[in-house]
Structure 1
Amino acid sequence: MNDVPMNDAPVNDPRFPGLRRRGFLAVAVAGGAAGLGALALTGCAGSSTAGAPGKADGKPQRGGRLRAAFAGGGASETLDPHLSNLFADVARAKALFDKLADYGPDLSAQPRLASKWEPNAGLDRWKVTLREATFHNGKPVTAQDVLYSYRRITDPKKAFRAKASLEPIDLGASRAVDERTVEFVLKRPTAEFPNVLAAFGAYIVPEGAQDFDKKPVGSGPFRFVSFAPGKSAVCKRNEDYWDGAPYLDELEFIVANEESARINALLGGQVEYAHELNPTTARAHEDQGQVQIVRLRNSAMQSFAMKTDRKPFDDKRVREAFFLIADRKELVDGALSGAGEIGNDLFGKGYEYYADSLPQREQDIDRAKALLKQAGAADLKVTLDTSPVAAGFPEAAAIFRDQAAKAGVTVQIKTGSKDSYWKDILDSGTLCSYRSGAMPIEAHISQRLLTGSTTNATKWQHKDFDDLYQQAQSTKDKKQRTAVYERMQRRLYAEGGFLVWGFADWILGTARNVRGVEAKAPANSLDWARFDKVWLA
Structure 2
Amino acid sequence: MRNNFLKIGFLVIFAGLLSACENSATETKNKEEGKHVHFLYNFSTNSLDPHVDSSYVPLRAGITETLVRLDEKNLTIKPWLAESWEGKDGQHWTIKLREDVKFQNGKKMDAKAVKASLDRALKESVAVKNALKIDNIQANEYSLHITTTEPFPEFVSELVNPNVSIIDVTEGDIVNKPIGTGPFTLESFIPGSKLELKRYNDYWDGASKLDSVTFSFNEDANARSLALKSGQVDIVYRPEVETLETLKARDGIKVESTATFRVHQMTMNMQRKSLQDVNVRRAVDALIDRQKIVDTILLGHAEVAQGPFLPFLPFAPKYENSQVEKGADVAIKHLKKAGYKLKDGKMQKNGEPLKFTLLTYSARADLPLIAQVFQSDAKKIGIDVEIKQIDIPEEYMASHRDWDLATYSNLTAPRGDAGYYLNATYHPTGALNFSGASDPKLTAIIDRLNQTVSQQERATLSEQAANYINERVINSFVLHPSTIVAYNQDKVKYWVTTRSEYYMITNKLDVK
The Cα shift of 1:303 comes to: 1.9
Q: Quote the residue 2:509 is aligned against.
A: 534
User: Of the candidates 449, 468, 482, which is equivalent to residue 472 of structure 1?
Assistant: 449
Query: RMSD in angstroms over aligned alpha carbons?
Result: 3.6
Q: Quote the residue 2:385 is aligned against.
A: 413
User: Of the candidates 151, 160, 171, which is equivalent to residue 198 of structure 1?
Assistant: 160
| Equivalences for residues 102-501 of structure 1 within 5 A | 102-105=69-72, 109-121=77-89, 123-135=90-102, 136-155=104-123, 160=124, 162-167=125-130, 169=132, 173-176=136-139, 178-206=140-168, 208-212=170-174, 217-227=179-189, 232-256=194-218, 258-298=220-260, 300-344=262-306, 346-349=307-310, 354-359=315-320, 360-361=322-323, 363-365=325-327, 367-379=330-342, 380=347, 381-389=354-362, 390-404=364-378, 409-419=381-391, 425=397, 427-437=401-411, 439-440=414-415, 441-453=418-430, 455-501=432-478
Where 2:37 maps in the other structure, the secondary structure is: strand
TM normalised by structure 1 equals 0.78
Aligned residues of 2:255 and 2:487 also touching (Cα < 8 A): yes
Aligned pair count? Answer: 480
Structure with higher helix content: 2
Where 2:484 maps in the other structure, the secondary structure is: strand
Aligned residues of 2:117 and 2:169 also touching (Cα < 8 A): yes
Q: Quote the residue 1:15 is aligned against.
A: none
Where 2:291 maps in the other structure, the secondary structure is: helix
The Cα shift of 1:148 comes to: 0.3
The Cα shift of 1:216 comes to: 5.2
**Counterpart residue identity of residue 359, structure 2:** T
Cα distance in 2 for partners of 1:342, 1:460 equals 24
The Cα offsets for residues 466-485 of structure 1, whole Å up to 9 and x where unpaired, read as 11111111112121121111
Where 2:100 maps in the other structure, the secondary structure is: coil
Unaligned runs of 5+ in 2: 1-11, 348-353
Cα distance in 2 for partners of 1:309, 1:213 equals 34
Where 1:175 maps in the other structure, the secondary structure is: strand
Cα distance in 2 for partners of 1:262, 1:87 equals 20
Q: Quote the residue 2:5 is aligned against.
A: none
Cα distance in 2 for partners of 1:299, 1:396 equals 19
**Counterpart residue identity of residue 441, structure 2:** D
Whether 2:37 is the aligned partner of 1:66: answer yes
Where 1:485 maps in the other structure, the secondary structure is: helix
With 276-285 and 311-320 compared, the bigger mean Cα shift is at 311-320
**Counterpart residue identity of residue 462, structure 1:** D
| Equivalences for residues 8-27 of structure 1 within 5 A | 23-26=16-19
Q: Quote the residue 2:484 is aligned against.
A: 507
Unaligned runs of 5+ in 1: 1-18, 29-34, 47-62
Aligned residues of 1:276 and 1:508 also touching (Cα < 8 A): yes
Aligned residues of 2:48 and 2:57 also touching (Cα < 8 A): no
Q: Quote the residue 1:521 is aligned against.
A: 499
Aligned residues of 1:129 and 1:181 also touching (Cα < 8 A): yes
TM normalised by structure 2 equals 0.81
The Cα offsets for residues 206-242 of structure 1, whole Å up to 9 and x where unpaired, read as 3523334887542211244455556554333334433
Where 1:443 maps in the other structure, the secondary structure is: helix
- Equivalent pairs: percent with the same residue? 21
Aligned residues of 1:387 and 1:393 also touching (Cα < 8 A): yes
